[in-house]
Chain A
Amino acid sequence: MTTSAFPEGVKRCSSGKFILWLLPAFLVLLIAAYAMFRVWFYGLNQTNMNDAYGFAIWIWADLAVIALGGGAFFSGFLAYLVGVKKVKNIINFAVVLGVVCYTSALILLGLDVGQPLRGWFIFWHANIHSMLTEVAFCLTIYLGVLIVEFIPVILENPKIQKIRFFHHLSHNMHEIMAVFAATGVFLSFFHQGSLGGVPGVLYGRPFAFREGLFIWPWTFFLFTWSAAAVGPLFTATMCRLTEFITQKKLVKDDVYELLAKISGWMLLTYIIAKSLDTIYWATVTAPARGFAFMDFYSNNPAYYGVWILIAEIVICGFLPALILITQKGRENKKLLFGAAILAIIGLCINRWVMVLQVLAAPLKPFQEEWFVYSPAWTEVITTIMPIAYGIVLISIAYRYLPLFPQEKELNP
């Protein structure tokens, strides 16, 4: 009997249908590849970035996908270190999602630097004082860890399992997964944090600058905390989306509810901390530099003014947090995932504000105008690319790997 390439006991669609499904994603990847070629070959003049917007949509996307990919480390932390068994039902998916997010982030970073061919100077000539160095080291090593976490999942493909070495290897790796997960948590803590440190240490930019603890500004901790809070929600939402697309139940509801409960409390504590941080910044940090709170929210050409802050903290912060910490909110799946989506949007707004609005705000009083930027097509398509790439990788992983231990049971 020939072994099926599919995981044992599950049904998968026909190859034709599968390829058809992947086609649009491949198309996006193709255009993105062309955009990448243009950027690498002709240089960053192919983007709409400028000397005011040295960081633009790519860096925002980087920060956002890394934060959302934080689901992997936090689920790993819960599953392997805290020992929350239920989380193991979604951990494989979280790892795949993490791989997608982190590789995308690295590709975007590779696009974003002016001299990618000597990008490795960040390691070789590392300046350990730079938050970006910390990001680069932790990010790269953590991606390694993620791949190490992903390997045993790959090895569980029935065809690969037939090879005895891989069979043993996957078993052995599962055995010591906690060690990898712990390292991952350690690395993630630092790179999620140092991504927050990236804007937070900019004491020339009063909109971003925050006081902090030792060398770490408060944004360091806020970023880690928010990634840990929203990451699992993103994992859950993506999982739900996979269920919707495959028209199958893949994970039991109690897993979602558990994740939602943990995330809800994390989110609530985060948003309280964020509010306190904002109040302190608005009343102490910024005024000490001659800025009134509303200076940062007036005359903005994007017209959103202070609403962006309200959206981030109230609508996409407190509101989903309050929904998620109540049992009724979690039991109603529409409310649960509605809240999750709000929280994800809130996180993206936060990263947006901490990257783009920081650069948009005028600094010199004689330069009253905000800096305006709209991304070029090359930037937009490469920013969309991770989605297409995610669709491809997750689809393949789902098709060939036993991502969901409960799938067989839920779909007899």
Chain B
Amino acid sequence: MEKLPSHTKARHFGMVIDLDKCTGCASCMVACYSENNVSFRDEESIKLLSINWIQVYKITNGKPFPDTEVCYLPQPCMQCDGKDFGHPPCVSVCPAVATDFDTPTGIVSQIPVRCFGCRYCMAACPYHARKFNWWDPVWPADMERYLSPDVSPRMRGVIEKCTFCYHRFQRARQQAYYKGDAENIKEADYQTACTQACPSGAITFGDMDNPDHAVYTLKKSRYAFRLLERLGTQPSVYYLSTRKWVHRACDNYLEHEEPAAFAGKSA
């Protein structure tokens, strides 16, 4: 929204998820819970009451046995750039500036202690990436002992969501500063917990504006697409798949329309 302070290097962090590689194992989800002090309850099967910063969906091509195919789709917060780079659907609606678009990183922030729980952002987000704390979080037995001091546990009545592990960016920036070159944050210095956790290497994360980072090239792939791209939300999360049905399942198309990667071809 605002102009960048002149001393800050502009980055645009993004993620590329290879759907032809994701095995649906949910390591990313669990690593995320653990990294970000996500709360849990004994009843988590009602998914619309369950807090997940990244959620792996299972989608099928709808064909009968044995031509059935399955694709797993991990979906974190899309960290949308939104309209005019800086107006994601959720940010402009938050009445109390509890969520904001961070221009220097392209990350959509969330301040739970500022949030008063109106849930307008939740209604605005087409990805259901925003989760509400319907209950007071409780860590049974001695589980409070494993909580990380990097991410504050949220209280009841507020929204939370994926922050691209922003605390890890802060840590990387701090370390870079101590090393004397505050702007020199390498690709490996800042990786999200889910990226690191993906045991099959389906997730790639980095600065999408930096040619040295893998995401820079990956997102330019012909088979790259974004979830519900046509809504104009400009997500910072890209997906890769060579399968046309996957592209079709991830955005809305009128009957005669074709996903961009396959337009004009009969694949």
Q: By the criterion CB–CB under 8 Å, are A52 and B252 in contact?
A: no
Q: Which of A50, A55, A202 contacts B46 (CB 8 A)?
A: A50
Q: At the interface, yes or no: A65 with Cβ under 8 Å from chain B?
A: no
Q: At the interface, yes or no: B4 with Cβ under 8 Å from chain A?
A: no
Q: By the criterion CB–CB under 8 Å, are A125 and B97 in contact?
A: yes
Q: By the criterion CB–CB under 8 Å, are A127 and B46 in contact?
A: no
Q: Which of B130, B134, B250 contacts A365 (CB 8 A)?
A: B250
In the complex, what's the smallest C-beta–C-beta distance from B78 to chain A, in angstroms? 10
Minimum CB distance partner of B249 in chain A: A366
Q: At the interface, yes or no: B136 with Cβ under 8 Å from chain A?
A: yes
A86 to B249 CA separation, bound complex (whole angstroms)? 60
Q: By the criterion CB–CB under 8 Å, are B116 and A113 in contact?
A: yes
List of B residues within 8 angstroms of A406 by Cβ: none
A288 to B231 CA separation, bound complex (whole angstroms)? 9
Asked whether A290 and B134 contact (CB < 8 A) given A130-B94, A205-B124, the answer is no
Tell me what chain A mostly uses at the interface: helix, strand, loop, or mixed.
loop
Q: By the criterion CB–CB under 8 Å, are A204 and B126 in contact?
A: yes
In the complex, what's the smallest C-beta–C-beta distance from B53 to chain A, in angstroms? 12
A179 to B8 CA separation, bound complex (whole angstroms)? 51
Asked whether A365 and B120 contact (CB < 8 A) given A51-B49, A133-B95, the answer is no
A171 to B130 CA separation, bound complex (whole angstroms)? 53
Contact digits for A115-148, partner B, Cβ 8 Å, 1 yes 0 no: 1101101101111011111001000000000000
Q: At the interface, yes or no: B222 with Cβ under 8 Å from chain A?
A: no
In the complex, what's the smallest C-beta–C-beta distance from B102 to chain A, in angstroms? 15
Q: By the criterion CB–CB under 8 Å, are B231 and A127 in contact?
A: no
Q: At the interface, yes or no: B263 with Cβ under 8 Å from chain A?
A: no
Q: At the interface, yes or no: B151 with Cβ under 8 Å from chain A?
A: no
Asked whether A115 and B93 contact (CB < 8 A) given A204-B233, A290-B251, the answer is no
Minimum CB distance partner of B57 in chain A: A366
In the complex, what's the smallest C-beta–C-beta distance from A254 to chain B, in angstroms? 44
Q: By the criterion CB–CB under 8 Å, are A132 and B156 in contact?
A: no
In the complex, what's the smallest C-beta–C-beta distance from A219 to chain B, in angstroms? 14
Q: Which of B96, B155, B157, B253 contacts A125 (CB 8 A)?
A: B96
In the complex, what's the smallest C-beta–C-beta distance from B157 to chain A, in angstroms? 3
Q: By the criterion CB–CB under 8 Å, are B96 and A122 in contact?
A: yes
In the complex, what's the smallest C-beta–C-beta distance from A349 to chain B, in angstroms? 19
Q: By the criterion CB–CB under 8 Å, are A52 and B96 in contact?
A: no
Minimum CB distance partner of A197 in chain B: B93
A202 to B133 CA separation, bound complex (whole angstroms)? 22
In the complex, what's the smallest C-beta–C-beta distance from B114 to chain A, in angstroms? 6
Q: At the interface, yes or no: B197 with Cβ under 8 Å from chain A?
A: no
Minimum CB distance partner of A355 in chain B: B123
Q: Which of A130, A204, A290 contacts B95 (CB 8 A)?
A: A130
List of B residues within 8 angstroms of A85 by Cβ: none
Q: At the interface, yes or no: A273 with Cβ under 8 Å from chain B?
A: no
A203 to B230 CA separation, bound complex (whole angstroms)? 10
Q: By the criterion CB–CB under 8 Å, are A202 and B249 in contact?
A: no
In the complex, what's the smallest C-beta–C-beta distance from A184 to chain B, in angstroms? 22
A52 to B126 CA separation, bound complex (whole angstroms)? 10
Question: Interface segment, A74-82, A88-96, A224-232, A356-364?
Answer: A356-364
A71 to B46 CA separation, bound complex (whole angstroms)? 42
Q: By the criterion CB–CB under 8 Å, are B92 and A201 in contact?
A: yes
Q: At the interface, yes or no: A114 with Cβ under 8 Å from chain B?
A: yes
Q: At the interface, yes or no: B2 with Cβ under 8 Å from chain A?
A: no
List of B residues within 8 angstroms of A366 by Cβ: 57, 59, 73, 249-250
List of B residues within 8 angstroms of A54 by Cβ: 119-120, 122-123, 132
Q: By the criterion CB–CB under 8 Å, are B250 and A127 in contact?
A: no
A116 to B158 CA separation, bound complex (whole angstroms)? 11
Minimum CB distance partner of A135 in chain B: B95
A55 to B121 CA separation, bound complex (whole angstroms)? 10
A202 to B8 CA separation, bound complex (whole angstroms)? 31
Q: By the criterion CB–CB under 8 Å, are A289 and B231 in contact?
A: yes
Asked whether A292 and B254 contact (CB < 8 A) given A114-B132, A114-B158, A365-B248, the answer is yes
Q: At the interface, yes or no: A374 with Cβ under 8 Å from chain B?
A: no
Q: At the interface, yes or no: A326 with Cβ under 8 Å from chain B?
A: no
Minimum CB distance partner of A116 in chain B: B116
In the complex, what's the smallest C-beta–C-beta distance from B213 to chain A, in angstroms? 28
Q: By the criterion CB–CB under 8 Å, are B157 and A115 in contact?
A: yes
Of the listed residues B119, B123, B128, the one surrounded by the most CB atoms of chain A closer than 10 A to its CB is B123
List of A residues within 8 angstroms of B94 by Cβ: 127, 130
Excluding A365-B248, A366-B249, 17 further A-B contacts by CB distance (< 8 Å) are: A53-B48, A54-B120, A113-B117, A113-B157, A119-B116, A121-B114, A122-B96, A122-B116, A125-B98, A127-B95, A198-B93, A202-B93, A204-B233, A205-B123, A205-B126, A290-B230, A295-B252
| In the complex, the 6 A-B pairs of residues with the closest C-beta atoms, listed nearest first | A114-B117, A114-B157, A290-B252, A54-B119, A204-B126, A50-B48
Q: List 30 A-B pairs, Cβ < 8 Å.
A: A43-B157, A51-B128, A52-B48, A53-B48, A55-B119, A113-B116, A114-B115, A114-B119, A114-B132, A115-B155, A118-B116, A119-B116, A122-B96, A122-B116, A124-B96, A125-B96, A125-B114, A127-B92, A127-B94, A129-B87, A129-B92, A204-B90, A205-B123, A290-B253, A291-B254, A363-B126, A364-B57, A364-B249, A366-B250, A367-B57
